[in-house]
Structure 1
Amino acid sequence: MQVSHSKEIANFHIVGINYKKTDAAIRGLYAINPAQYEQLLEHARAVQLDDLFVLSTCNRTEVYGFAANPGQLIDLLCRESNGDKSQLEELAYIKSGEEAIRHLYQVGTGLDSQILGDYEIIGQIRNATKFSKARQCLGSFLERLVNSVLQVSKLIKTETGLSKGTVSVAFATVRMLERICPDIKDKKVVLLGVGKIGRNTCKNMIEYLGVKEVTLINRTLQVAADFAGQHGLQYAPYENMVSEMQAADVILVASNAPQPTVLADHLRNASPKLIVDLSIPFNVEAAVGELSHITLVNVDELSKVQDETLQNRLGEVPKAISIIDEHMEEFLYWYKMRKHAVVLKAVKDKLQEIHTREILQQKNGGHYKMEDIELVSSRIIQKMINLMAGKVRKETDKSDQYIAMINDIFETGVNQE
């Protein structure tokens, strides 16, 4: 199948779902892992969609790119994810043109994040676009736009207080643990998954809550061993996961596996526990939450943790928007100038074609004389005038605009009033 579309800004779309309209369970259906992302881009190239990227985080999945219509981006996402197309069409937000561009600025600067000012999102955008570029699916428009967003994000971080204070999923976990498990420093904690979120949460627990008895479990044992060695913690092989969980008081799950790794059968006869699922899609089976002796918390509940830091950040939003406005205007100016450059080059090529044809006709195998050159130049000038006059005669409803533009471009000094 061939997909025909132009790189006009009206054909730039974003299709996505986020925390505002969907819960974590639904978002998990449309989450894209690296293998799925690879397949999605491969299919995109096959249908000539070659300027796009996918942003998939715990709070959102979005496809940004050029297409004849947004439905083509929906098809791409549903083809590789576990989600249903009709459900996505009902829940998704779609933005096009300048609205889509502004959305990316707002996402990249944390204005659209579940936790206002979340600065981690910009790294996720950087990684998503780097992945796409490495597979020849990031064109000059998107690369320039993302670079502008990266610059704006940095400016907002340094020139406003939008990202000041510690508010993140990892820190929200600590605040929640502090509230519902005040004696956690005396509890046995198991961390399943030692990726970025797991590491950050663990470090926050140690620093803010004084937690010391933490056992790390990771599919790659060496990753757990290295982190445990750096922080004086314990670690255990993945094969011991069930027994370690059964002996724990608090279980943090940040494994980010495609399917649940913590099952109800693992804990059915265990002692009371608090389980925090930080993964998208969920890595704790829903049935675990139905066990009477288990308290299960997921990322959506964590995001409700409020802090005075967030109130302070709200006051910085107008400054951030002002910076976005300024740089978005610069980006749109670049886009328009690029379009003009294409037209001007085409005009130059057209004039070169006329020039070459006239020279060949005049030369006829002989040497040039001054009168030959003057005659050729005269004919070229006349042909240019004829081209402009023909267009003005053909487009009668726009003739006054064309003449005014030509008058202005060539600075004739003629007063048309």
Structure 2
Amino acid sequence: METNEYRHITNFFIVGINYKKTDASIRGQFAINNDQYETLLHTAKASGLGELFVLSTCNRTEVYGFAHHPGQLIHLLCTQTAGSAETFSKLAYIKNGHKAIEHLYSVAAGLDSQILGDYEIVGQMKLACKFAKDRGFIGAFTERLLNSALQSSKLIKNNTELSGGTVSVAFAAVQYIRNVIAKPSEKNILLLGVGKIGRNTCKNVVDYLETQNVTLINRSPEKAAELAGELGLKYALLENLGEEIAKADIILVATNATDPVIRKEHLEGGTDKLIIDLSIPYNVADDAQVLPNVHLVNVDELSKLKDETLKKREAEVPKAKAIIAECMCEFEEWQQMRRHAPLLKTTKLKLKEIHNNPDFICSSTGCSKEADARIQRVINDMAGKIRLKNGGACHFFEAINKFMTTGTAQS
């Protein structure tokens, strides 16, 4: 049964793996799609865990939430993954309290991204949190924390060059094509998957390779048709995948299928192909990757690309961290005051009780309105003193005394 007793900042955890200690093949074992996310949240509720969300991208899988101990979150995640809890635990980072909060801010800012300053993480985080919120798993603490982290990220984007220039996995794919393929605009390009990364990659292909020689395939054909119509491209049905692969020179894969979409029989004996797999888990079968006519690049290899843009971004890191520190300070001040909310509420009720007591004399006209205003002034003063000096009971008695004194003074 769910309880609130453990929902203290010291019981707020993040458990996760990312690109720093794992390659894409390992991360793929712990990737979570929406169906798995849905089941995971049902399991969480049955386990008494009620405030959490999962962030699963090509670079990371992380669970943020309240628990009695981090093992609960690891076990919860791994009820839905191909990888085991034992493997995850060996590779995972675990943070709680202040450190977990700081990590969330860093992720939202793009400081922890595989490509420094990659702003796509913000959209992914918003979707992950909305999914959890729609199912009742985002409480007051988590919502305030997320809003603060996203506000911090926005301030960093608007006031630094951390996300300046054009560098992302989607752009890196196009940059790679330009570097290794002569006259790429004359090649037949096939793009599988038109989700967020697929759409961004597609637009970069059109803009930077200056070509419309692109065919789109998506599990939902209407989405492929919509994007194709928007950009003046072609689209094909999934059942024609083998035929389209045979015609393609360059294949970009950005699907979220749990099993490989491109198999050995699609490629064996065919023409030379450059395949860029942006999917986690990989959507090109292992035995297809080693065929002599296939040159395959995955997200980890793309993310190693460095240029002047990244050097400029690195110089902005101190500014970004300063903004994060300021936003974290404001959040933690809110968290401190939230702890004292029951005391402030109790004090306010007590002051109203005193005011309504016949023994408490108040003869001025409009007494009720004036009393409400006076009570609120006393509460505001009390909150300010708690913020500056902390404390609790001493401020309660001081507030009672102050209200009694000012009340009788008007009699």
Q: Which TM-score band (shorter chain)?
A: 0.7 to 0.9
- 1:220 is displaced (CA, Å) by 2.1
Q: What residue number does 2:250 align with? A: 250
Q: What residue number does 1:139 align with? A: 139
SS of equivalent residue, structure 1 residue 202:
helix
Q: Residue deviations 1:1-54, cap 9 Å, x none?
A: 767852111100000000111011111111111111111111111222111111
Q: What residue number does 1:382 align with? A: none
Q: What residue number does 2:130 align with? A: 130
Cα distance in 1 for residues equivalent to 2:391 and 2:16: 45
Q: Residue deviations 1:108-164, cap 9 Å, x none?
A: 010111111111111111111111111111110000000101111111111111111
Partner amino acid, structure 2, of 1:177: I
Q: What residue number does 2:191 align with? A: 191
Would the aligned equivalents of 1:5 and 1:66 in 2 still touch at CA under 8 Å?
A: no
Q: Does 202-211 or 137-146 show the bigger shift? A: 202-211
Question: CA 1:214/1:330 → structure 2, altered by over 3 Å: closer, same or farther?
Answer: same
Would the aligned equivalents of 1:3 and 1:68 in 2 still touch at CA under 8 Å?
A: no
Cα distance in 1 for residues equivalent to 2:349 and 2:83: 49
Partner amino acid, structure 1, of 2:306: Q
Q: What residue number does 1:165 align with? A: 165
Partner amino acid, structure 2, of 1:163: S
Question: CA 1:404/1:67 → structure 2, altered by over 3 Å: closer, same or farther?
Answer: closer
Whose radius of gyration is greater, 1 or 2? 1
- 1:229 is displaced (CA, Å) by 2.1
- 1:347 is displaced (CA, Å) by 6.3
Q: What residue number does 2:47 align with? A: 47
TM-score, with normalisation over the residues of structure 1?
Answer: 0.83
Partner amino acid, structure 2, of 1:297: V
SS of equivalent residue, structure 2 residue 79:
helix
Q: What stretches of structure 2 of length at least 5 have no aligned partner? A: 361-389, 402-411
Aligned 1:69-88 pairs, distance under 5 A: 69-88=69-88
Cα distance in 1 for residues equivalent to 2:239 and 2:392: 79
Q: Does 47-56 or 11-20 show the bigger shift? A: 47-56
Would the aligned equivalents of 2:347 and 2:396 in 1 still touch at CA under 8 Å?
A: no
Partner amino acid, structure 2, of 1:40: L
Cα distance in 1 for residues equivalent to 2:397 and 2:35: 53
Q: Residue deviations 1:311-337, cap 9 Å, x none?
A: 001111111111110110010000001
Aligned 1:71-110 pairs, distance under 5 A: 71-110=71-110
SS of equivalent residue, structure 1 residue 80:
coil
TM-score, with normalisation over the residues of structure 2?
Answer: 0.84
Q: Does 1:280 align with 2:277?
A: no
Would the aligned equivalents of 1:3 and 1:47 in 2 still touch at CA under 8 Å?
A: no
Would the aligned equivalents of 1:191 and 1:214 in 2 still touch at CA under 8 Å?
A: yes
Partner amino acid, structure 2, of 1:230: E
Q: What residue number does 2:227 align with? A: 227
Cα distance in 1 for residues equivalent to 2:124 and 2:352: 47
Would the aligned equivalents of 2:246 and 2:271 in 1 still touch at CA under 8 Å?
A: yes
Cα distance in 2 for residues equivalent to 1:4 and 1:82: 31
Would the aligned equivalents of 1:288 and 1:296 in 2 still touch at CA under 8 Å?
A: no
CA RMSD of aligned residues (A): 2.7
Question: CA 1:262/1:369 → structure 2, altered by over 3 Å: closer, same or farther?
Answer: closer
Partner amino acid, structure 2, of 1:218: N
Q: Does 1:174 align with 2:170?
A: no
- 1:351 is displaced (CA, Å) by 9.4
Question: CA 1:345/1:265 → structure 2, altered by over 3 Å: closer, same or farther?
Answer: same
Q: Does 1:298 align with 2:298?
A: yes
Aligned 1:114-125 pairs, distance under 5 A: 114-125=114-125
Cα distance in 2 for residues equivalent to 1:76 and 1:207: 42
Would the aligned equivalents of 2:225 and 2:235 in 1 still touch at CA under 8 Å?
A: yes
SS of equivalent residue, structure 2 residue 255:
coil
Cα distance in 2 for residues equivalent to 1:404 and 1:273: 70
Aligned positions, number: 372
Q: What residue number does 1:208 align with? A: 208
Q: What stretches of structure 1 of length at least 5 have no aligned partner? A: 360-367, 371-401, 413-417
Would the aligned equivalents of 1:5 and 1:67 in 2 still touch at CA under 8 Å?
A: no
Partner amino acid, structure 1, of 2:70: P
Partner amino acid, structure 2, of 1:58: C
Q: Does 1:321 align with 2:321?
A: yes
- 1:343 is displaced (CA, Å) by 3.3
SS of equivalent residue, structure 2 residue 62:
strand
- 1:182 is displaced (CA, Å) by 2.6
SS of equivalent residue, structure 1 residue 136:
coil
Partner amino acid, structure 2, of 1:275: I
Q: Percentage identity across aligned positions?
A: 55
Cα distance in 2 for residues equivalent to 1:257 and 1:102: 32
- 1:369 is displaced (CA, Å) by 8.2
Q: Does 238-247 or 343-352 show the bigger shift? A: 343-352
Cα distance in 2 for residues equivalent to 1:305 and 1:409: 63
Question: CA 1:115/1:404 → structure 2, altered by over 3 Å: closer, same or farther?
Answer: closer
